[in-house]
């Protein structure tokens, strides 16, 4: 199914997994709103890639953790594009550290961006999608939300929280043809994982039955399925894309 005529907002669409999701949705016909918070050059590069491939895109800068800014940004997107059909909650950060040493600030930053950010964006689009009687919301979780990970209590809690958020909102929006799902990647080669030490990478690869890290396009393909018309009867689910690392 083509996504022609659909408007998609991808938070953190400027780099990594988000960029690949933007390119994929635009390639299939959606007009894509590329969100970022700090790096305009990366966002512009994503838009250039979309336009070079014959697609349509615009940039929207906002911090997903700031409810007021999110509301303003979504109102401005609707004013410009007329509608929002697809929301991908992809923006995410890590502030790793063992629990006994973790600063309250690190906990708050990760929860505010990775969990409250999704809540803010879902809240901003829900009414719009309900009125349209069609919508697709996909949040990017993590295998860590299912497995937990030493040094990532904040990140694991936020990603596990996304599962409860998704299942609850899926129930609330189900009668309006708005599906709410997630994709939980395993280890994907992006800026977020590029800083891992070689020995840590080797340990991780050992835990992946397929023996290799995933690529951003593997996650984008799962997102593409969940936003399609063909996935209309799938809601409240998290699709694991992790090379067999966790089978939930
Ligand atoms: P990157 O670090 O490569 O990119 C993060 C993106 O999020 C950037 O576009 C960044 O924008 C944006 N962002 C960060 N904070 C905010 C904010 N407050 N408001 C708006 N945008 C923000 O991450 P990945 O591509 O690796 O990860 C994308 C998602 O996938 C995250 O949710 C991550 O948790 C999840 N994930 C990643 C895995 C991996 O192995 N890489 C594994 C499992 C899950 P800017 O450049 O402007 O800062």
Region 136-148: what's the mean pLDDT? 98
Distance of CA 90 from the midpoint of ligand 1 (Å): 6
Nearest ligand 1 atom to alpha carbon 219: 30
Exactly one of 36, 155, 225, 233 is catalytic; which is it?
Answer: 155
Residue 134 CB neighbours (<10 A): 17
At 30, list the tokens. Answer: 């959606």
**In this structure, which residue's CA is closest to atom 31 in ligand 1?**
92
Nearest ligand 1 atom to alpha carbon 39: 47
Q: Residue 196: its pLDDT value, please?
A: 86
Per-residue confidence band for 90, with pLDDT thresholds at 50, 70 and 90 = very high
Distance of CA 91 from the midpoint of ligand 1 (Å): 4
**In this structure, which residue's CA is closest to atom 17 in ligand 1?**
63
Closest by Cα among 89, 191, 197, 184 to 144: 184
- Lining ligand 1 with CB less than 6 A are 11-12, 14-18, 35-39, 42, 63-65, 90-93, 113, 117, 140, 142, 185, 187-188, 190-193
User: Which pTM does this prediction carry?
Assistant: 0.98
Per-residue confidence band for 170, with pLDDT thresholds at 50, 70 and 90 = very high
CB 238 within 8 A of CB 248: yes
pLDDT tens-digit series, residues 196-242: 889 989 999 999 999 999 999 999 999 999 999 999 999 999 999 99
**In this structure, which residue's CA is closest to atom 18 in ligand 1?**
63
Q: Residue 45: its pLDDT value, please?
A: 98
| Alpha-carbon distances, residue 129 vs 10, 122, 136, 190, 212 (angstroms) | 15, 10, 8, 31, 38
Distance of CA 176 from the midpoint of ligand 1 (Å): 30
Largest interatomic CA distance in the chain:
51
Per-residue confidence band for 159, with pLDDT thresholds at 50, 70 and 90 = very high
Whether 233 is catalytic: no
Region 142-147: what's the mean pLDDT? 98
pLDDT tens-digit series, residues 44-74: 999 999 999 999 999 999 999 999 999 999 9
pLDDT tens-digit series, residues 171-206: 999 999 999 999 999 999 999 898 888 998 999 999
Residue 84 CB neighbours (<10 A): 21
Q: Residue 195: its pLDDT value, please?
A: 83
Per-residue confidence band for 93, with pLDDT thresholds at 50, 70 and 90 = very high
User: Cα–Cα–Cα angle for 19, 25, 29, nearest 5°?
Assistant: 140
What gap in Å lies between CA 109 and CA 112, rounded to an integer?
Answer: 5
Instruction: List CB contacts of 178: < 8 A, sequence separation 6 or more.
Output: 126, 129, 130, 134, 135, 136, 137
Q: What are phi and psi of 238, to 5 degrees?
A: -115, 125
Counting ligand 1 atoms within 8 A of each CB, the residue from 60, 91, 239 with the most, and so the one to mutate, is 91
Region 124-152: what's the mean pLDDT? 98
Region 150-177: what's the mean pLDDT? 98
Q: Residue 16: its pLDDT value, please?
A: 97
Pairing of strands 86-89, 56-61: unpaired
Strand partners, 7: 31
pLDDT tens-digit series, residues 2-44: 999 999 999 999 999 999 999 999 999 999 999 999 999 999 9
């Amino acid at each position: 199914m083509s996504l022609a005529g659909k408007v998609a907002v991808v938070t953190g669409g400027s780099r990594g997994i988000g960029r690949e999701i933007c390119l994929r949705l635009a390639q299939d016909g959606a007009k894509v709103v590329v969100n970022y918070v700090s790096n305009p050059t990366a966002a512009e590069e994503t838009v250039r890639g979309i336009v070079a491939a014959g697609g349509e895109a615009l940039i929207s800068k906002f911090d997903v953790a700031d409810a007021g800014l999110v509301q303003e940004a979504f109102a401005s997107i609707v004013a410009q594009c007329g509608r929002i059909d697809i929301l991908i909650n992809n923006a995410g950060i890590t502030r790793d550290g063992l629990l006994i040493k973790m600063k309250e600030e690190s906990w708050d930053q990760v929860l505010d961006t990775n969990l409250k950010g999704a809540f803010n964006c879902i809240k901003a689009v829900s009414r719009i999608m309900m009125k349209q009687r069609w919508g697709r919301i996909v949040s990017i979780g993590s295998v860590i939300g299912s497995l937990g990970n030493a040094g990532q209590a904040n990140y694991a809690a936020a990603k596990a929280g996304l599962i409860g958020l998704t299942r609850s909102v899926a129930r609330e929006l189900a009668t309006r043809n708005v599906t709410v799902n997630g994709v939980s990647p395993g280890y994907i080669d992006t800026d977020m994982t590029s800083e891992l030490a070689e020995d840590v990478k080797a340990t991780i690869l050992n835990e992946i039955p397929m023996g290799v890290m995933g690529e951003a396009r593997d996650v984008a393909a799962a997102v593409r399925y969940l936003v399609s018309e063909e996935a209309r009867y799938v809601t409240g689910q998290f699709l694991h894309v992790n090379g067999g690392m966790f089978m939930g």
